[in-house]
Amino acid sequence: MIALAAAFFAAALPGATVLQPVVNMYSKPTDDADVVSQAIYGVNVGILEQKDGWARIRTPDDYTGWTPLAAIRTGAPYASQGRVAQVVSMFAHIYREPSVTRHAPLITVPFETHLEVATDKPAAPADTRWLQVRLVDGRSGFIQSGDVALDRTPISTPEMLALSRKFLGVPYTWGGTSSYGYDCSGFMQMLERQHGVLMPRDAQPQAEWKGVKPVLRQNLEPGDLLYFGSSEKHITHTGMYLGDGKFINATTYITPMVRIDDLGDPHWVKLLVAARRVK
């Protein structure tokens, strides 16, 4: 499971690395097209095609879409070997020097960003507050140690449920896969990834994935995945069961955000069509 989680950020295909905090992936090579997904800073992608300043990329979870060439950097895979730090804060500033006051951040990256550790030595003698990292474009940067974890391992189910609540209020974003904004399946995929499980990107493929098994509603346990739609073959939404009839989801229902809802709400009663448990 650890290898699967790491594979999301490793270079599954030779090609390029995302340069911006979050880049949209479009269905066509234009920003007038619909967003199909996103990729965050430092993720290695494969370039399948180029056209008029755009690249059709494939992310390590096997999702494809078009993004501006300016948003990626070709070259060797990033953060695929050596020591890697994972951002565990909702967002993290990276500075040109170990100071929050002297200059503005070089870049602000979202939760889950993986960064190459430039050195294990502290920024100054006896200073453990800062960690030096190498950015995708080769520059050196400094991030506060409290924003990252080194050698992070998969979290437990109770830890995953606790983590999910940290995102309450994050805006619902169609195609979103970052702490800047999630859609329903992107949110579930992220939680399971932190749990050490790499599952498909979209809700329908998640429900049909061989890595999960069906669960009856009366047998639901915290951490089970819930799927909503007109039928099991037409799933349009997903969430995670918390217990006591409650579930967390990124939704446009009432308020477009990550929120906790009640399975007893008539809106959800008529839409719940399946539940799954990771094997």
The pLDDT assigned to 5 comes to: 42
The pLDDT assigned to 14 comes to: 55
User: How confident is the chain (279 residues) per 10-residue block, as mean pLDDT?
Assistant: 42 77 98 97 96 96 96 95 95 97 97 90 66 96 96 94 98 98 98 96 97 96 98 97 98 97 97 98
The pLDDT assigned to 91 comes to: 98
Q: Element (H or E) spanning 185, and its range? A: helix 184-194
DSSP structure string for 82-125: S-EEEE-SSEEEEESSS-SSSS--SEEEETT-EEEE--SS-SST
The pLDDT assigned to 102 comes to: 96
The pLDDT assigned to 166 comes to: 98
CB 212 within 8 A of CB 192: no
Structural domains present in the chain: 2-75 (2.30.30.40), 84-150 (2.30.30.40), 157-278 (3.90.1720.10)
What is the rounded distance in angstroms from the CA atom of residue 164 to the CA atom of residue 10?
A: 24
| 24-34 residues labelled b (16+ CB within 10 A) or e (exposed) | bbbeebeeeee
The pLDDT assigned to 127 comes to: 67
